[in-house]
Amino acid sequence: MHNRLTPTFSVITVSYNAEKTIEDTILSVLAQTYHHVEYIIIDGASNDGTLAIIDNYKEKIAKVVSEKDSGLYDAMNKGLKLATGDYVCFLNAGDSFHTDETLQQVVHSIKGKQLPDVLYGHTALVNEKRHFVRMRRLEPPETLTWKSFKQGMLVCHQAFILKRTLAQPYDLNYRFSADFDWCIRGMKCAMTLHNTHLTLIDYLDEGMTTQNQKASLRERYSIMCRHYGHASTLMHHAWFVVRALVKK
């Protein structure tokens, strides 16, 4: 390696009845040319073919847990407790690293002798056949701070790689947007946030139901009020509405 730094990445996949998508994710992680990877799968006691697929690769997976949980973020918290790497990265069933060299390229992008607290990059949306659809509409800023998310979740959760020592548990009071809150809290603790300028993730674009989308937006508004204050959040939302009306 050209870079002296060889951080370990704890890649955590949370799954439940994901027999159609889990294999793409597993293969994406196992195919990484960078070998300092601890792969953890937390399954919510799937009753389809998910566990049989995971079983095919279990010798190459560091830890597999399959048991009932209280939802997505509870499962993610279980993954965090088991992680031992320098960084934690979440890849949900169906998502994958953009290329086999993604983690290698991430490490090569780090300059200096210190590991940044946060690594982040771009996200591509793909369909069920893994074909490129488009880049994610919200783009990461050149320089990221915890205040950047006043504009919305500019970095996709999967493309946000956080030092494990700064990773706090997900707040289970949020059912749909705990990742938004988790990223902000992680950034508040971070001193150095490194833009890799890479597309890190292929995100499976399934689309949430309208009902979940509304609930998610309500939660995000609440999270923004918590971190940025009511006045600031209200002002930003008013600006979004005005901008949307002007575009029409």
Please report the pLDDT score of residue 210 as a whole number.
55
Give the model's pLDDT for residue 239. Answer: 54
In a domain, 149, yes or no: yes
CATH at 182: 3.90.550.10
Q: Is residue 30 part of a domain?
A: yes
Q: What pLDDT is stored for residue 231 in this prediction?
A: 76
Of the listed ranges 69-78, 168-177, 226-235, 237-246, the one predicted with least confidence: 237-246
Cα gap 180→196, rounded to integer Å: 20
Q: Is the pLDDT of residue 4 over 80?
A: no
On the CB side of 133, CA atoms within 13 Å amount to: 17
The closest alpha carbon to 236, from 59, 115, 25, 223, belongs to: 223
| Residue 23 belongs to some domain of the structure | yes
Tell me how far CA of residue 19 lies from CA of 22, 26, 142, 204, 207, in angstroms.
Answer: 6, 11, 37, 14, 18
The set of long-range contacts for 207-215, using a CB threshold of 8 Å and a minimum separation of 24, is 212/176, 215/175, 215/176
pLDDT tens digits, residue range 193-237?
999 999 999 999 875 555 687 888 889 989 999 999 987 777 766
Residue 156: give the domain boundaries: 9-247
SS (H, E, C) 119-168: EEEEEEEECCCCCEEEECCCCCCCCCCHHHHHHCCCCCHHHEEEEHHHCC
Is residue 3 situated within a structural domain? no
Query: Which of the two residues, 179 and 209, has the higher pLDDT score?
Result: 179
Total tally of structural domains belonging to the chain: 1
Instruction: Round the average pLDDT of the chain to a whole number and report it.
Output: 91
Query: Is 1 among the domain residues?
Result: no
Asked if residue 96 is part of any domain, the answer here is yes
Residue listed under structure tokens 């997976």: 61
The answer to whether residue 227 sits within a structural domain is yes
Question: What confidence tier does 247 reach under pLDDT thresholds 50, 70, 90?
Answer: very low
**pLDDT tens-digit profile of 72-116?**
999 999 999 999 999 999 999 999 999 999 999 999 999 888 999
**Using one digit for the tens of pLDDT, what is the confidence trace for 14-38?**
999 999 999 999 999 999 999 999 9
Q: Is residue 179 part of a domain?
A: yes
Given a cut of 50, is residue 244 above it in pLDDT?
A: no
For 140, phi then psi, to 5°, come to: -65, 140
